[in-house]
Amino acid sequence: MGYESPEAIREAILAAVSLDILQPQSQNVQGELYRAYIQLTGNSGLSRRIRTVWIVLFNEDVAQFVTAVPDRLGGLQ
C-alpha cells in the first residue's frame, strides 16, 4: 500500500479508528476483545479494508491495539 514505516501505518490506523466503531468480539484471560473494520488508503493510492483487534484489560478502561490484518472480504481498490 506504499507506507514507508510501521509508524506511518500505526498513525493511519489510529486516525481511522474511534470508540463508536469498536465491536465486541470475545473475551480471553486478559480482558475483552473488540474489532473494528476500517478502510485505509496508502501512499500508493491503493485502498484496502483492514480488520483491527483491540483489547480492554480487566480493571482498565483503555482499548489497546493488538493487531491489524487485511480483511479477506475487502479487496484492493
pLDDT tens-digit profile of 3-27?
A: 889 899 899 999 999 989 999 999 9
Cell of 34: 473488540
- Is residue 1 situated within a structural domain? no
- Is residue 26 situated within a structural domain? yes
The owner of cell 506504499 is 2
- Is residue 46 situated within a structural domain? yes
Is the whole-model pTM more than 0.85? Answer: no
DSSP 67: E
Cell of 37: 473494520
Cell of 6: 510501521
Q: Are 41 and 47 in contact (CB under 8 A)?
A: yes
Q: What total of structural domains would you count in the chain? A: 1
- In the predicted model, what is the mean pLDDT of the chain? 90
Task: Give the range of the structural domain holding residue 19, as residue numbers without chain letter.
Answer: 6-70
Provide the 10 A C-beta neighbour count for residue 50: 21
